[in-house]
Structure formats: structure tokens, C-alpha cells
Structure 1
Amino acid sequence: MIYVAVGTTGLLFVQLTQAQEARYQVKTIAFYNVENLFDIIDDSLKFDESRTPDGKDRWTRRKYDDKIEKISFTIAQIGRNITQTSPDIIGLCEIENESVLLDLIKSNHLREYNYGIIHTESPDIRGIDVAFLYKKSCFIPQQFESHPLKLISESGEREYTRDQLLVTGRLDSEKIHFIINHWPSRRGGEIKSAPKRAKAAKLNRKLIDSLINLNISAKIITMGDFNDDPNSRSIQKVLNTGGHLKRLKEHQLFNPMYTMFKAGFGSLAYRDKWNLFDQIILTPAFLKDDETFYTFWKAGIFNSDYLISREGRYKGYPFRSYANGNYTGGYSDHFPVYIYLIKKAP
């Protein structure tokens, strides 16, 4: 019989028999689309006028502070039932700038964890970026680079969207690469916009293959809001992912979100249909049977009760900040997603 107990330092204790006990280090890797986390200042270089006190959304200091409070509290809870602490690595999207990230990590809920920030300004027309947060106690960044996605409209003009942020560093001395994504939306229709996400998938795969060419056993995690589901062509075919551990083909990436999606779970809802756009995908190096290095343990969608709308048109959906242009005072229109990495403690 196997018994599991959780310690207070991110250690998992697994008792196999009365005479055997194994200790495992557990790390939580999370991703969260935080739904337009803007400050209240009008930036002349961005189309952010609606998110100001005098703008369409009447985005005041009180609303901003409440949003920081809610998002930081949620982040602090992800994975806590297992690790008794906040996530070690967090990918974010729909943040305006480094200022809002500083407010997040200095908040009452996250201050004690001493997070570092990696962020670059994207050329996105909405003024939103992706970002990477990490606990300085366990992750040492070595290099990072933003990779632009170059899209051309039907009229031949450049369409500006989010960069893909590649971060390389050491998680407890183990080299791991992270790619943070926010692929083009389905605005204009899923089919019409699909080529944009296919192009995003090609860029993502190019980054991954370039790392694998240098090291066949490279540990790479690509995560984000892909604006497509685990069974969409951009994810399954172009990025080349598989959702079943024992049926992975050569060169395929492992997508643990696939089986959750097929079981009916999602991270956002639209017209009474669940989508799982928010995904965390791994190279097969995380699946090897070697407990001395970090390996994939399990994945989840963080959908605690307080993140769910309890009434109205969007009852049962993620409790968002705005709905139909009206302030609702929620958290985000997406649930966070996460995975656990695990290795035997020394």
C-alpha cells in the first residue's frame, strides 16, 4: 500500500511499506492568462485608453488594486495542496508592462517568495505581453530572448502580435528551457484565423527543434494561451504533440492537457462550450524513468470555487473582471493550469 504525505518544504513523502519511505522534491510550474492586467496610466505608445480612469472601462486605482489582490492570491494557491507553497515558475499573459508585474510580486500574497521577473515589451497592437516569474531560491536564469511572430495581413500589412519568450536557466542546478506563448486569437472566426496560429506553432516548433539539435535530451516546457485546443491542428499536427504517454511517436511532444480536454474539462468557456486553450507541453526528456532528475508527475486545471461565476448569464464560467463591457469584479476569464515536476530528494 502507498501512503502520501506532504511536508512544509515542497517535499512529498511516499511510504511504500511500513519499512520504506521515499522523499520527493516537487516543483509547481503554472501558467495564467490574467485577463488584461493593465495599470491605470495612459501609455501614448499603446492602445490602452480604455483601461484608464476616464476610459471606457473606468479603470480606477481601486479596481486595479483589487485585481492585483485577486490575481496574486490565486497564484499563491496554485499547487499549494501538494507543495504547501506557491508555484516555482509562472508563465503569464495579458500583462501590460513590468510595472504591473512588480506590483504582483510585491503584493501581500507573493512578497515572501522573492520572485524574479523576465519580461520584454511585445509589439502587440493591444499592448499586452507575456512574462516569466521565478522563485530566486530555486531557479537561476541564464539567458532569455523574445522571438517575434511576423504576420502579414491580406492587404500586405504587418500584423503585430505577442512575441514568444524563451527563457533558459537552472532549476535546482538542472538545465530547463521555458517558452511562454500567447498565440493569435480567433477574432474573425476560428477557421479564418487558423493560419496565424499555425504560423505561431511553426515558430514554436522551430525554437524547440533548435534546442533539441544542440541536445537530444533537452528539457523544454512550452506553455501559454494557444487560442487553440489540444486537438486543434496547430497543436497536434504543426507543433506535433501527443496526449498519451505510452503512444508517443518519435519527435512528438507530450501534451498532458489532451486527456483532460477529451474528458470535458476546460480553462475557459464560450457559448456553453469549454475550451482548453491554456496548456503546458513538454519534451519527452521529462518522461524518462530516472528519479534523480525532474520528471513529469501530473497536470491540472486550477478551478477553485472562488474562481467560478455563481450567477447570471455566465454562471459556471470563470469569474472574469469584465463581461459584455461591464465591470464584474472577478479574477480572469481563464483558469490557471499547472504541472508538477518531481524527483527523489537527496
Structure 2
Amino acid sequence: MKKLKHPLLVLFILVLMSANAQEKKKYKIHTVAFYNLENLFDTINDTTKYDEASPIMELNESLRAEAYVKKLHNMAKVVADIGHDDTKNTPAIIGVSEVENRQVLVDLVNEPELLKKDYGIIHFDSPDKRGIDVALLYQKALFKPIDTSSHELLIYDDSTRERVYTRDQLLVSGELEGDLIHIIVNHWPSRSGGEARSRFKRVAAGKLNKRIIDSLQSIDPYAKVFSMGDFNDNPTNNSMKKELKTEADKEDVKLKGIYNPFENQYKKMGLGTTGYRDAWSLFDMILFTQPLLEKDYSSFRFYKAGIFNKSYLTNKEGRYKGYPLRMIDAGLSGGYSDHFPVYVYLVREE
């Protein structure tokens, strides 16, 4: 009998391992991201826009084409890398800002790093005085748009009474592998003239954003809504905390509430997506509504949020060491954007 004990023990362990393997759940994971592409302009002077101030247009005409090709390649490399280490795929959905027109997006998604992913493009021209827009790129095999709309931000300067022309907010509703989600892509008014003086513009943008979210939740309180973009405000500013009423901790988010997974990264960890005057700001964020926090993984739920700040995206020396490496700083040899991208992972049980 003693000789049988060891083989029986091994058999018993193998049976347990087999049962556990069968019970182990498998999950599908996708990346949803946002990236400010910092002046993705073409080489053509558009007289209807103020594109002369773009870094490419400031170059000698003989160098513009080379710079544009390099810019496209660098932007495509970053987009392809976001989330790839974990998902082995490029983002299923990515919002972008600071693009001049639809054609630069067509050129971007046809770069070798992205071409095989067959990205669709959703873009509207906005009334921004610089001629820059927001847009959404999506893998056609994964996301199916149902409805798209552009929402105009109407604001006026108190001193001049003139309209401030800025970016519209893009709303896209569609199905991510059968799950209905809504995405708002933003690029809120800048801090030009100072944070306090320009604050009313971003407060107005926050009010518009909340109205869009409220309209979706009035139809379905359990709507899965993402609001992503370069908000030109930090997670703790009034536009976030008072207008959108964002929460930093999951347990505080009620139905119809909004979670900001980047608030604690900013407050407790000191992280940022862009640097200015020797200080970090976390202007780029992805916010979302409470149903994405639930624990029923029969549909896509939030798993993780992060800032994509790999080493190759940063300055290696000088005053701005560690800050985003801009193309304007690196010249034709490299450089990317003055913002790091941000992302969230969504998971669903297979």
C-alpha cells in the first residue's frame, strides 16, 4: 500500500489542477486612449486658418515635407504603442486633439504602424481660431459607430463682448464588440492670459460637457459614458469638481456620478501629462460614469488607468529633463508632443 500513496497523491493534485483550470475565467481587454498630437498640421497654407504659426509652416519650405513625414511617423509610433505591452494590440478607440483637418488623420492612420488595424475616423471641422479640431479614431473590427454629433461651445469675452472661438465637443455613440458606449472628445480653452482670467471659459466647457452627459443619462441612467481630452485644467479645478462633480475614489461614485481615475495620480503621486515653468500639470484625462465600475464583467468594465510616458517620449537632458520631448525641441531628428497620452483598460469576461 505504501507504494500507492505517492501516485494517488499526484493523481489527486492533477485532478484539482484540471478543475481549477476549467474554473479559471478568461478576460478580453481593450485600450481606450487620448492623445494631444500637438499641431498635427499639413504643409499647405490654408488661408482660412491661422496655420502659419504651426512649427511645420515656420520651417523653410524645402524642409516642410520631411518634417510632416517625420511627425506622422512619430505620432503613429506612439498611438501603436499605447497599451500594447498588456493588450498586444493598438488602442481599440483613441481620441485626438490639435489636428488641422481630416486629411492629416487619413495620413496618420495610413502610416505602416497603424495601417493593418484599419482605423475609422470621426471628425468635424470646428470654429477654433487656430484651425485645430478634435477627432476619434477606432478599429473598425472592434467598434461600430451608431451616432455622431458636434456640440458647439458658445462663450464670449467679458471685456470685449466678442465671441471666443474654440473647439467643439465631439460625441460618438457606438458598440464596442456589442457593448453600447458613449465617448465625448474634448479640447477645452487654453490658459492663455492666465489661469484665473481664462477660467470662465473652461467652466463653460464643463457645463456643456455635463449637459451632454446628463442628456445621455436621461435616456439611460446606466449609460456608459467616457469624457476624454485635454481639459487645460487639473483634476482638482472647479471645472472638474464643481461642474462635472468628479470623484477621486470609486466608492464615492453614485449612479449618474463621474469617476476621475487620474485625480489621485495627480494629488497623491504628483504625476502629470504636460510640463510648464518647472511644474507638472495633469490636463489630459479620461473620465467615465459609474456603470463602468460595476463588478459584473459580462460587459466591459474599467480595469486600470495610466499615463503613457515611456522613456523615448521624454527629454533626456537640460532644463526640461523628464518632460515630454517635443518635435520643436528635437527638430527633424525626432520628438513627439508636449503632452503624454492617457489611457484606460476595459475588460470583459469571455
The counterpart of 2:311, out of the listed 299, 305, 308, is 305
- Kindly state the Cα deviation for residue 270 of structure 1 after the two structures are TM-superposed: 1.0
Question: 2:211 matched to 1:206?
Answer: yes
- Kindly state the Cα deviation for residue 288 of structure 1 after the two structures are TM-superposed: 1.3
Deviates more, 1:151-160 or 1:24-33: 151-160
Q: Deviations over 1:177-227 (max 9, x none)?
A: 000000000000001111100000000000000000000101100000000
Question: 2:49 matched to 1:46?
Answer: yes
Q: Deviations over 1:84-124 (max 9, x none)?
A: 01000000000000111001100010001000000000000
Instruction: Give 1:170-319 correspondences, 5 Å limit.
Output: 170-249=175-254, 251-262=256-267, 263-319=269-325
State the SS of the aligned residue for 1:152.
coil
| Amino acid across the alignment from 1:69 | H
Identity level (%):
46
State the SS of the aligned residue for 2:297.
coil
CA distance in 2, matches of 1:115, 1:199: 32
State the SS of the aligned residue for 2:175.
strand
- Kindly state the Cα deviation for residue 17 of structure 1 after the two structures are TM-superposed: 5.3
CA distance in 2, matches of 1:61, 1:144: 33
State the SS of the aligned residue for 2:185.
strand
Gaps of at least 5 residues in structure 2 are 1-17
| Amino acid across the alignment from 1:317 | Y
CA contact (8 A) 2:222 2:255 kept: no
- Kindly state the Cα deviation for residue 29 of structure 1 after the two structures are TM-superposed: 0.1
CA distance in 2, matches of 1:236, 1:255: 10
Q: Deviations over 1:280-326 (max 9, x none)?
A: 00000101121101100010000010000012221111001225x97
CA distance in 2, matches of 1:181, 1:283: 16
| 89 and 48 in structure 1: CA distance in 2 versus 1, 3 angstrom threshold | same
- Kindly state the Cα deviation for residue 60 of structure 1 after the two structures are TM-superposed: 0.4
Q: Which residue is 2:170 aligned to?
A: 165
| Amino acid across the alignment from 2:343 | Y
Aligned residues: 329
Question: 2:166 matched to 1:138?
Answer: no
- Kindly state the Cα deviation for residue 159 of structure 1 after the two structures are TM-superposed: 1.1
CA distance in 2, matches of 1:22, 1:172: 19
| 133 and 152 in structure 1: CA distance in 2 versus 1, 3 angstrom threshold | same
CA distance in 1, matches of 2:175, 2:293: 18
Question: 2:115 matched to 1:107?
Answer: no
CA contact (8 A) 2:80 2:113 kept: yes
CA distance in 1, matches of 2:105, 2:145: 17
What TM-score do the two structures reach when normalised by structure 2?
0.90
Gaps of at least 5 residues in structure 1 are 1-14
What TM-score do the two structures reach when normalised by structure 1?
0.91
The counterpart of 1:21, out of the listed 11, 21, 24, is 24
Q: Deviations over 1:36-67 (max 9, x none)?
A: 000000011101123487x4344601011001
CA contact (8 A) 2:307 2:341 kept: yes
Q: Which residue is 2:130 aligned to?
A: 126
Q: Which residue is 1:7 aligned to?
A: none
CA contact (8 A) 2:67 2:332 kept: no
CA distance in 2, matches of 1:123, 1:297: 36
| 16 and 62 in structure 1: CA distance in 2 versus 1, 3 angstrom threshold | farther
| Amino acid across the alignment from 2:322 | G
- RMSD of aligned Cα (Å): 1.8
Question: 2:40 matched to 1:37?
Answer: yes
Q: Which residue is 2:95 aligned to?
A: 91
CA distance in 2, matches of 1:206, 1:328: 44
CA distance in 2, matches of 1:201, 1:286: 21
CA contact (8 A) 1:147 1:165 kept: yes
Structure richer in strand, relative to its length: 1
| 247 and 41 in structure 1: CA distance in 2 versus 1, 3 angstrom threshold | same
State the SS of the aligned residue for 1:180.
strand
Once superposed, which parts of structure 1, at least 4 consecutive aligned residues long, lie more than 4 Å away?
Answer: 15-19, 325-328
CA distance in 2, matches of 1:70, 1:326: 12
Q: Which residue is 1:82 aligned to?
A: 86
